[in-house]
Amino acid sequence: MFTGIITEIGHVRRVEKRGDWRFTLGCAYDPAGIALGASICCSGACLTVIERGADADGPYFVVDVSAETLSKTTLGDWTEGTQINLERSLKMGDELGGHIVSGHVDGVGTVLSATPEGDSARWMFQAPRTLAPFIAPKGSIAVDGVSLTVNEVEDDRFGVNIIPHTAEMTTFGGLKPGDAVNLEVDPLARYVARFLEQTARADAAA
Query: What fold characterizes domain 107-193?
Result: Elongation Factor Tu (Ef-tu); domain 3 (2.40.30)
Return per-residue pLDDT of the chain as tens, 206 residues.
899 999 999 999 999 998 899 999 999 999 999 999 999 999 999 999 999 999 999 999 999 999 999 999 999 999 999 999 999 997 766 666 778 899 999 999 999 999 999 999 999 999 999 999 999 999 999 999 999 999 999 999 999 999 999 999 999 999 999 999 999 998 776 666 666 666 767 666 66
Beta-carbon contacts of 9 under 8 Å, excluding residues fewer than 6 positions away, are 83, 84, 85, 86, 169, 170, 171
What's domain 8-88's architecture?
Beta Barrel (2.40)
CATH 2.40.30.20 domain range(s) in the chain: 8-88, 107-193
Beta strand ranges found along 90-145 (DSSP E):
107-117, 120-126, 140-143
CA separation for the pair 113, 122 (Å, rounded): 8
